[in-house]
Structure 1
Amino acid sequence: ACFVLSEQHPNHERERAEAMIAKIYSMAEESDGALRVVKTSSELQASCDGGEDIAAIIGLEGADPLEGRAENLRDFYDLGVRDIIPAWQDNPFSGTAFGRNTPLTDEGKKLIELAEELRTMVDVSHLSDNAFADVCKIAKRPFIASHSNCRALCPTLRNLTDDMIRKLSDHGGVMGINLSPSFLDPVYYAQAFPRWQRSLQLGTSQEEKKRLRAEVDILARPPIDWITRHVLHAIEIGGEDVIGLGGDLDGISKAPQGIETIADYVKIPDLLLAAGLRTAQVEKVCYANFERVFREVLTD
């Protein structure tokens, strides 16, 4: 995903996102076939069937590069974007989980409608509960919550309530388990979140921010079985077709015990099997559910 915030790149959001997209294509060209950018359902199927390359679906994590106009999604679609999170923090399209909890704006509703018209995946991670409800009313195709967990187990507003999981399932969508300790373990969340909030408050000195972040850094990481607990809860609430993996490893500073790099993902299938899931269910969690939903939404 291309992550660009207006506050970090004022008046250059579009330029920054376009540069990131160009870099993805450059990486694919230099990979000697190991990385392939896929734009259609048939390209995704070919990549998955071959099993020898990495299929990259380009997304925008936050619609700030659209510069407040839903119609600008057409330009990014032409560049290969096939997944969009309307907002990472409050913007002209939507409120967010850690923002004001406002719903989709009129322009945000247009964005969802246009994304569906273009067969671009709508991703509701980071959106406010009210915006999620709006997406449910508008969406006629499946949508995803690429990196969100179960709020019943860990109460951060970035996670999905049981009702949200049911609605996501009703739409044929998929949620991806985020490996951030603050989204997995309620004890870790209770210790880390207040410090994170204080570090972002206006008036907090740089010295205080450094101290707060250092306190979070030394918190004990939760055990790896929290991954299993969220998977099992999601299946109990929304069924085995609603759950996948969305580690967010590029966006988090630490993961549960036993997960150091992407290479440790191979531990997760054995954890799920040990918890009682069948092989076919583990395959759905590890890849098949996300593959299904993208093949359904993307064009042929």
Structure 2
Amino acid sequence: MRFFDAHCDTIGKVWERGADFGGRDRGITPGNASDDQPGNVPGGQPRYHPGGDDLHVTLPGLRAAGARAQVFASWAWTERYRDREFEVAMNEVKAVRRLCEQYSDDLVLALTGDDISAACEANEPNARIAVIPSLEGSDALCGKVDNLAVFRNAGVRLVTIAWHDSPFCGSTYGSGTGLTDLGIELVEACEDAGILVDLSHSSDQTFFDVCRVATRPFIASHSNCRELCPSPRNLTDEMIREIAERGGAVGITLAPGFLSADYYRKTKSIYDEFWRAIEERSASSDEAGRRSSAAEALIPRPPLDLIVEHIRHAIKVGGEDVVALGGDLDGVDALPQDFAGVEDYPRVVELLMAAGFQPERIEKVCYRNLARVFRETVG
């Protein structure tokens, strides 16, 4: 089976910590992590990354999975990179491009919807994997819509408009406010530039504000069904229908707190404390992240087969053309049981087949739906 995943945070670990994307070692390449790595805080202490220095996404893993396209997100949250947001995000986008150059036999920078479709439909078993740079959160734009063009010229073809609150919009764990006038300009600029709008992390108000102003399909790259797991990061049935009616897609994610209602309840206090520490400035984002990671490690991981229920529910609500995959790999501290990294995506296919899903429907979930959305929106 071919795979197209809508969201991973791998490039942050590669750029900041020298994580070994091309080899079979999931961690830091010996000699790569030093005091002058961009991801070290003063004194040489490593930056916190979800999952530590291990990589969920590697080139051998992508090959083993049968991946045909992967979105690589650049994340430059103001709280962590204040006054360097543009610089950090651009360096991460450049790092994505360097991977495509370094592994040119395996990866290709995809700048158009046709590039992505060609990679997804190629019949050669070793066809190059389409790589799509994205921005996670609009912090990198520094409150200026004009900066979007700079990132587009660098290869960005998807923007997750929220991660936390910004001058453009409110977020799930922020104020809960909606699009600002500047945010409306951003959505319009994305559509004009052929950049796909992504509403994962957006507040409910931002989501429905985008529904009022958007004229093209949009996606939620890594969100699940709120009906099955009450995390506010998940989508209500109404949201799923809105995305479906506009021809967009929902990337079902592997994040345990969005898959399992029980896991969400057990970890909610951990992440409430994370955000409280940030708001009260009682800990840096790195310190708060390390604490939450250590606490979450004590919680038993949920079974992988919960992903089938989210896929089934999203199809029931929005139809088989709305469901896709967006694992949030390298952006989470834990993964479900029996899933260690991108190479384990075939396990999802096995579960879908065992649940009675037909091959044509599985293909839509695994890659066809996302390829269609990008083809229709990305210039």
Question: Which TM-score tier does this pair reach, normalised by the shorter chain?
Answer: over 0.9
* Cα-to-partner distance string for 1:221-253 (whole Å, 9 max, x where unaligned): 111111000000000000001101100011011
SS of the counterpart of 1:8?
A: helix
Q: 1:287 aligns with which of 352, 367, 376?
A: 367
How far apart are the structure 2 equivalents of 1:208 and 1:286?
A: 35
How far apart are the structure 2 equivalents of 1:123 and 1:209?
A: 24
Superposed, which structure 2 residues align to 1:226-237 within 5 Å? Answer: 226-237=306-317
SS of the counterpart of 1:125?
A: coil
Q: Which residue in 2 is equivalent to 1:68?
A: 143
Q: Is the Cα–Cα contact under 8 Å of residues 169 and 179 in structure 2 kept in the other structure?
A: yes
Q: Which residue in 2 is equivalent to 1:148?
A: 223
Question: Cα distance 1:109–1:9, how it changes in 2: closer, same or farther (>3 A)?
Answer: same
Superposed, which structure 2 residues align to 1:96-245 within 5 Å? Answer: 96-202=171-277, 213-245=293-325
Q: Is the Cα–Cα contact under 8 Å of residues 199 and 213 in structure 1 kept in the other structure?
A: no
How far apart are the structure 1 equivalents of 2:293 and 2:87?
A: 31
How far apart are the structure 2 equivalents of 1:28 and 1:153?
A: 38
Question: Cα distance 1:205–1:32, how it changes in 2: closer, same or farther (>3 A)?
Answer: closer
Q: Which residue in 1 is equivalent to 2:83?
A: 11
- Structure number with higher relative contact order (C-alpha < 8 Å, ≥ 6 residues apart): 2
Structure 1 residue 45: Cα displacement: 2.4
How far apart are the structure 2 equivalents of 1:210 and 1:18?
A: 25
SS of the counterpart of 2:353?
A: helix
How far apart are the structure 1 equivalents of 2:308 and 2:249?
A: 16
Runs of 5+ consecutive residues of structure 2 not aligned to the other structure: 1-72
Letter in structure 1 aligned against 2:245? D
Q: Is the Cα–Cα contact under 8 Å of residues 293 and 333 in structure 2 kept in the other structure?
A: no
How far apart are the structure 2 equivalents of 1:68 and 1:247?
A: 28
The share of aligned pairs that are identical, in percent, is 42
Structure 1 residue 213: Cα displacement: 4.4
TM-score normalised according to structure 2 size:
0.76
Aligned-residue Cα RMSD (Å) equals 1.7
Question: Cα distance 1:269–1:80, how it changes in 2: closer, same or farther (>3 A)?
Answer: same
Q: Which residue in 1 is equivalent to 2:100?
A: 28
* Cα-to-partner distance string for 1:79-136 (whole Å, 9 max, x where unaligned): 1111001120001011001111100010000000010011110000000000000111
Kindly indicate whether residue 349 of structure 2 is the aligned counterpart of residue 277 of structure 1: no
Q: Is the Cα–Cα contact under 8 Å of residues 196 and 213 in structure 1 kept in the other structure?
A: no
SS of the counterpart of 1:59?
A: strand
Structure 1 residue 208: Cα displacement: 9.6
Question: Cα distance 1:168–1:26, how it changes in 2: closer, same or farther (>3 A)?
Answer: same
Structure 1 residue 197: Cα displacement: 1.0
How far apart are the structure 2 equivalents of 1:286 and 1:136?
A: 25
How far apart are the structure 2 equivalents of 1:210 and 1:179?
A: 20
Q: 2:162 aligns with which of 81, 87, 91?
A: 87
Q: Is the Cα–Cα contact under 8 Å of residues 243 and 284 in structure 1 kept in the other structure?
A: yes
Structure 1 residue 140: Cα displacement: 1.1
Structure 1 residue 277: Cα displacement: 1.1
Q: Is the Cα–Cα contact under 8 Å of residues 120 and 367 in structure 2 kept in the other structure?
A: no
Q: Is the Cα–Cα contact under 8 Å of residues 175 and 245 in structure 1 kept in the other structure?
A: yes
* Cα-to-partner distance string for 1:47-90 (whole Å, 9 max, x where unaligned): 22335111011110011111101121111111111100112000
TM-score normalised according to structure 1 size:
0.95
* Cα-to-partner distance string for 1:163-203 (whole Å, 9 max, x where unaligned): 00011101111001111110000011001011221243246
Letter in structure 2 aligned against 1:194? S
Structure 1 residue 139: Cα displacement: 1.1
Runs of 5+ consecutive residues of structure 1 not aligned to the other structure: none
How far apart are the structure 2 equivalents of 1:244 and 1:224?
A: 16
How far apart are the structure 2 equivalents of 1:212 and 1:30?
A: 35
